[in-house]
Amino acid sequence: MLTIRPCAEQDRAAAAALLRGACPGNAAEAVARLDARPAAWVVSQARQLIGYGAFWRVQDVRFRADLAVHPAQRGRGVGNALLATLVREARAVGACTLQVRADSRDARTLRFFLQRGFEETMRMHQQALDLQAVCGEALAAADVIEGRLLARGIAFTSLREAERQDASCWAKLAALEHAAHEGWPDPDPGAGAGSADGPPSDRE
């Protein structure tokens, strides 16, 4: 028998383990959010934690959510029951939109959300550089480029050093980020009219 209940302190270690196993691409952020104590629920069966869901306010009536189901328990209604709980509880505190995130390579999870009224609003791409594989020629080219930038008065530094040299560095960094946002899709679109029997109308 499935039991859905609020996430308690003693559930957090099991919830973190579930997140790492069920959604490795997003696990680090979701596990870190456990410490922030979001509004969260767990699904248990025979004393085993098989599902975890949480939501939190992003801005005004726009909310985001985490949802994870143990891989061996998918397709058995656990995700449906947990999502219904999140939607009901989020609406109760004034949410008009609810955004979730899923790895674009995880077709099953994307299909789950799309079939329940979610729509994609912003796709993010991850890039990683294998420093062990960077060849000497690439590093030499980078040194040349850095030299050209230095000649134009543009220098590279660490954030820690920038903080030490300039007390307003964080304000300047925020201004730079806001300026760079022009033309970017809004990951949390303005609240629309959510249906009465479906999820709030924000999506991944």
What DSSP string describes 118-152? Answer: -------------GGG--HHHHHHHHHHHHHHHHT
Share of the chain above pLDDT 90, in %: 45
Pick the closest to residue 192 from 178, 203, 177 (CA basis): 203
Q: Is the pLDDT of residue 204 over 80?
A: no
Gap between the Cα atoms of 189 and 37, Å rounded: 25
Q: Is the pLDDT of residue 197 over 70?
A: no
What confidence category does residue 191 fall into, taking pLDDT thresholds of 50, 70 and 90?
A: low
Least confident of 18-27, 36-45, 65-74, 149-158: 18-27
Gap between the Cα atoms of 2 and 44, Å rounded: 6
Task: With 0.75 as the threshold, say if the pTM is over it.
Answer: no
Q: Is the pLDDT of residue 203 over 60?
A: no
The model's pLDDT over 13-39, given as tens digits with 9 standing for 90+, comes to 999 999 888 877 777 888 888 878 889
In 4-154, alpha helices (H): 12-22, 27-34, 78-92, 107-114, 136-151
The strand pairing partners of 55, in sequence order, are: 39, 65
